[in-house]
Amino acid sequence: MYENPDGVMIGLEVHVQLNKLKTKVFCGCSTDYHNDPPNSHVCPVCLGLPGSLPVINRKAVEAAIKIGLALNCKVEEHTQFYRKNYYYPDLPKGFQITQYDFPISSGGYIMIEGEDGEHRVGITRAHMEEDPGRLVHEGTIDKSKYTLIDYNRSGMALIEIVSDPDMRSPKEARRYLDKLRNILEYLDIFDGDLEGALRVDANISIMGGQRAEIKNISSHKGAERALLFEIVRQKNVLRRGGVVVQETRHFDEAREITLSMRSKEEAHDYRYFPEPDLVPLKISGWAPAIKEMLPELPDARRMRFVEQYGIMDDHAKALTSERKVAIFYEEVAKIADPKISAVWICDVLKGELNYRDLTIEAFRKEDMLSVIELLMSKKITEDGAVDIIRTLLDKGGSPEEIVKEKGLLKVEGDIVSTAAEEAIKENPVAVSDFKAGKEKALNSLVGSVMKKTKGRADARAAREILLGKLG
Amino acid sequence: MASINELIERIHADSSEEIVTEYLEKIEKSKLNAFITVAKESALLRAKEIDSQGHDGPLAGIPIAIKDNISTKGIATTCASKILTGYIPPYDAHVIEKLKEAGAIIIGKANMDEFAMGSSTETSFYGPTLNPWDTTRVPGGSSGGSAAAVAGGEAPLSLGSDTGGSVRCPASFCGVVGLKPTYGVISRYGLISYANSLEQIGPFATSVRDVATLFDVISGHDPRDSTSVDRETNYSSALINDVKGLKIGVPEEYFAEGTDKNVEKSVRDAINTLEELGATSVEVKMPHTKYALSAYYVIAMSEASSNLARFDGMRYGLRTEDSDWHTTFSQVRAAGFGDEVKRRILLGTYALSAGYHDKYYLKALKIRTLIKQDFERAFRDADVLIAPTMPYPAFKLGEKIDDPISLYLADVDTVPINLAGVPSISLPCGFSGGLPIGMQVIGKHFDEAAILRTAFAFEENTDFHTRQPEGS
């Protein structure tokens, strides 16, 4: 049982950009703007020109319902859009179309790996809104002489997922974000690698204080850092006899600190009211069909992998924690031995990718199959296989070429046998130690054999041969 | 004054260019200030095009004036506000697309109250429009330029917009016909919003027939407006000179204290005329009418406070000297909006604020529901309702402009119709001291056919609509 000594309560508001939709949420502009010049994907509607009117993108509503269902939420009967009124240069209409009462879905949960095992985090609501434009400052925000506005992003569909304050540590917050992103990727509704795809605001309080809302968090790691800083700050305030007040704070990513933006007294009055230009939408009828089409989600896939492939739960979890890895694994396991595939993908390939900050796309499944095939036919050693994987990632080529170039083909048994005999002759101390009962002395003999065979011997086989000759 | 049919004949005999030139000359000589922008070059160019290439649209070669809050591609659209100085829309409103398809020629952009906020066209940044019947008087508003242009013979047709009476009021004051359709019948795409849940674009002409023809052109479904309805209609075919069996409801609340005696008499006489033609009349009760004005202003101002937030000088329109954005936003809005617009933004902001939202905005919505129910009940006993459009004929310029409450009170008979979303047509039904009097015929939702037919029969049997102001 996790004690949570400081009474930490964390709730997250995650903005997910539906960047896999073809068009924006209220107009026909293309969402594929990331490599195009500023203000090249705009029209009267997303520029908020006088007289323009929004029309809801039904695919965006479908995606929002998908998300609601995947987060175990209840999809509402009716949904309604509201105006959130505030002035900001990136907001071309002077209000944001969002939701208030009657969000698309509410009252769900997801399971994460918590401080003390499986932990449930409630989902308050998941609602739809439009993205504002993007401000580009010349230099830094406080010293900038001018600011440019790019409205390409304006009107992109966003889903805001609000969690209950159920996370008890920054680590849990990070795991929640990882899990959420994973689920969203399974739904195939957004590309998390695109700029601005997932943005986080965090609410955090500790026992004896009010909550602070932290804005401007742009990564999972950033969220963890910001929350860690914030716990220390709030504890220090309380320790000095101060009061932790309700306020909005800004995360300075470079300095890894949070700075006060405005207090509760200065909070905006957004003057929400129903958007007259969008009629209420009856969506209760949409949910069943969407539920039918919902893809297999990470938790279900993890259970299936254990059952279908007989692999360990830890491996299944690691394989399913990224949708692309899970797909990669299933393609490999269709041809190669599923258990061995799981071991090599989880324990070796993922680590090597991580070390190089690469994604699974950097490795071809054909190469994985070749490496496993070489291993299974005992043509290479395990060390050789690792070497091939590293070389493929660093220099490219094909496994067969690498084997040839590096001379990684496993040596024949009689060569190992000869090397073992030599090793016994050359290391009388180790031999007598072993015979005196020191099992570890065998390791230095194995090492000697490996040295003589330039690593091409199979270490396990060398050990067996040595034992035979010493026995 | 020429009807559409007469103009079409003349265009065939002479040319559209000649007709357009005549109207342009009339506008040039006029002192009414009905136009903010005259689209002389593009209008003549289009007329020549139609003359040389031919066009088989129902309005081929016919000029039309457009209220300056309807977006016209390539023609400045100001909403009669300084804040939109220099703004030229890059797109056409849905109704403009329809008009162009029908062959109509946009002759200019008509004056109006700034952002359609007013009932006299005196709040225009470009100065007031004068009433063609008496140039010391207002033409009504907010579509005063559109009504005055038609009444003064400066355009045979025009478009206005009606949020709380802004088509019917000037139609009444200028002695022309103006229609406020059922909410959703004409696409608002391209209409610069004042209060989106209340307003509709509406046609003006000198006769019910021409109003119906224009209405046929501009109505119909538009997927770019989510509140636009999809219905097959042909309003011109509703024009039958026969009201036998028609049940007219007379809401006594619309003849309340403050209604000019001559206005009351003219409207009651008109009902008698229709009865002589075979209609019957019955008194209907609309008990919540007295709350309509307050509810209307709370809702309209609330929506306006949000709709007008976009005018910040960042992308188009007036721009003051650059400073940080807070300062620039404030300076642009302080310099760009007139007093009435500022008043409504402030009141609307207040009504939506935390702590006041329920007391004002939410309460107004509840009253709106009660008003709708008043209409539903009334229409159980009646096919159409007839009432004065305005409680009095056109008032003097300057008479009410410094007293906003008294100006708001002028809308007492028009705003309930917008709250309910039902259609209403205003047409001339009498004169008082040389000034026209208008009555409105109000219909059930989507029953424009009934009010057009009633108005048409009245017109066919009277001659009020044939009278013209001197010099028009």
B-chain CB neighbours of A95 within 8 Å are 306, 309
pLDDT reported for residue A141: 64
- Given a cut of 80, is residue A142 above it in pLDDT? no
- The CATH class for the domain spanning A413-470 reads mainly alpha
B120 CA to chain A: closest CA distance, Å? Answer: 23
Tokens of B8: 């079409």
Tokens of B144: 């005063």
Cβ contact, residue pair B226, A92, below 8 Å = no
Question: One digit per residue, pLDDT tens: chain B, 472 residues?
Answer: 799 999 999 999 999 999 999 999 999 999 999 999 999 999 999 999 999 999 999 999 999 999 999 999 999 999 999 999 999 999 999 999 999 999 999 999 999 999 999 999 999 999 999 999 999 999 999 999 999 999 999 999 999 999 999 999 999 999 999 999 999 999 999 999 999 999 999 999 999 999 999 999 999 999 999 999 998 789 999 999 999 999 999 999 999 988 999 999 999 999 999 999 999 999 999 999 999 999 999 999 999 999 999 999 999 999 998 888 889 999 999 999 999 999 999 999 999 999 999 999 999 999 999 999 999 999 999 999 999 999 999 999 999 999 988 899 999 999 999 999 999 999 999 999 999 999 999 999 999 999 999 999 999 999 999 999 986 6
**Number of compact structural domains in chain B:** 1
Q: Does A94 touch chain B (CB under 8 A)?
A: yes
Q: Does A52 touch chain B (CB under 8 A)?
A: yes
Q: Which residue has the tokens 């009660």?
A: B370
Q: Are A309 and A319 in contact (CB under 8 A)?
A: no
Is B236 one of the catalytic residues? Answer: no
Closest chain B residue by Cα to residue A276: B197
Q: Are A121 and A176 in contact (CB under 8 A)?
A: yes
| Integer Cα distance of B301 and B343 in angstroms | 9
> Can you tell me whether residue A190 is helix, strand or coil?
coil
Q: Does A396 touch chain B (CB under 8 A)?
A: no
Is B363 one of the catalytic residues? Answer: no
Cβ contact, residue pair A51, B192, below 8 Å = yes
B468: domain CATH number is: 3.90.1300.10
Cβ contact, residue pair A49, B77, below 8 Å = no
Cβ contact, residue pair B93, A93, below 8 Å = no
Q: Are A20 and A189 in contact (CB under 8 A)?
A: yes
A-chain CB neighbours of B224 within 8 Å are 53, 55
| Integer Cα distance of B413 and A16 in angstroms | 49
Cβ contact, residue pair B223, A52, below 8 Å = no
B-chain CB neighbours of A38 within 8 Å are none
Cβ contact, residue pair B310, A50, below 8 Å = yes
Task: Give the CA distances from residue B7 to residues B24, B45, B60, B107, in Å, rounded to whole numbers and listed in that order.
Answer: 15, 18, 10, 15
B121 CA to chain A: closest CA distance, Å? Answer: 21
pLDDT reported for residue A378: 82
Cβ contact, residue pair B71, A51, below 8 Å = yes
- A154-194: pLDDT as tens digits: 999 999 999 999 999 999 999 999 999 999 999 999 998 88
Nearest to A317 by CA among A189, A224, A178: A178
| Integer Cα distance of A60 and A76 in angstroms | 16
Residue A334 burial class via C-beta count within 10 angstroms: exposed 0-12, middle 13-18, buried 19 and up: exposed
Q: Which residue has the tokens 């424009």?
A: B448
Q: Are A9 and A234 in contact (CB under 8 A)?
A: no
Where are the alpha helices (H) located in A336-435, listed in sequence order? 338-343, 350-355, 365-376, 382-395, 399-406, 413-426, 428-435
- Given a cut of 80, is residue A409 above it in pLDDT? no
Average pLDDT, chain A: 92
For residue A412, is it left (φ>0), alpha (ψ between -120 and 50) or beta?
Answer: beta
- Given a cut of 70, is residue A412 above it in pLDDT? no
Break chain A into its structural domains and give their ranges: 9-290, 296-406, 413-470
| Integer Cα distance of A357 and B328 in angstroms | 45
Closest by Cβ to B315, choosing from A47, A56, A85 = A47
Pairing mode, strands A117-130 and A105-114: antiparallel
Three-state SS across B378-411?
HHHHCCEEEEECCCCCCCECCCCCCCHHHHHHCC
Task: Give the CA distances from residue B334 to residues A294, B122, B331, in Å, rounded to whole numbers and listed in that order.
Answer: 52, 19, 5
Candidates B143, B146, B158, B166; catalytic one: B166
Q: Which residue has the tokens 């809104």?
A: A129
| Integer Cα distance of B171 and B189 in angstroms | 23
- Can you point out the beta strands (E) in B208-324? 247-251, 280-284
| Integer Cα distance of B323 and A365 in angstroms | 57
Closest by Cβ to B315, choosing from A56, A92, A271 = A92
Q: Which residues pair with A214 in a beta bridge?
A: A202, A249
- Given a cut of 80, is residue A126 above it in pLDDT? yes
In a mutational test of the A interface, the residue from B88, B97, B310 whose CB has the highest number of chain A CBs within 10 Å is: B310
Where are the alpha helices (H) located in A264-297, listed in sequence order? 287-293
What's the rounded mean pLDDT across residues A32-39?
95
Task: Give the CA distances from residue A392 to residues A208, A337, A347, A365, A366, in Å, rounded to whole numbers and listed in that order.
Answer: 55, 21, 17, 12, 12
Terminal Cα-to-Cα distance of chain B (whole angstroms)? 8
- Given a cut of 70, is residue A266 above it in pLDDT? yes
- The DSSP letter of residue B423 is -
CB atoms inside a 10 Å sphere around CB A370: 19
Closest by Cβ to A279, choosing from B69, B188, B227 = B227
pLDDT reported for residue A419: 83
Q: Are B145 and B155 in contact (CB under 8 A)?
A: no
Structural domain includes residue B443: yes
> Can you tell me whether residue A355 is helix, strand or coil?
helix
Is the sign of the CA dihedral B4, B5, B8, B14 positive or negative?
negative
**Confidence band for A438, pLDDT divided at 50, 70 and 90:** confident
Q: Are A176 and A114 in contact (CB under 8 A)?
A: no
Q: Are A173 and A10 in contact (CB under 8 A)?
A: yes
Is B359 one of the catalytic residues? Answer: no
Percent of chain A surpassing pLDDT 90 = 73
Structural domain includes residue B232: no
| Integer Cα distance of A419 and A447 in angstroms | 11
Structural domain includes residue B321: yes
| Integer Cα distance of A161 and A68 in angstroms | 9
Q: Are B266 and B432 in contact (CB under 8 A)?
A: yes
Tokens of A378: 């005992």
Task: Give the CA distances from residue A371 to residues A356, A390, A408, in Å, rounded to whole numbers and listed in that order.
Answer: 20, 12, 12
pLDDT reported for residue B438: 98
Structural domain includes residue B233: no
Nearest to B311 by CA among B83, B126, B125, B123: B83
Closest by Cβ to A53, choosing from B188, B329, B353 = B188
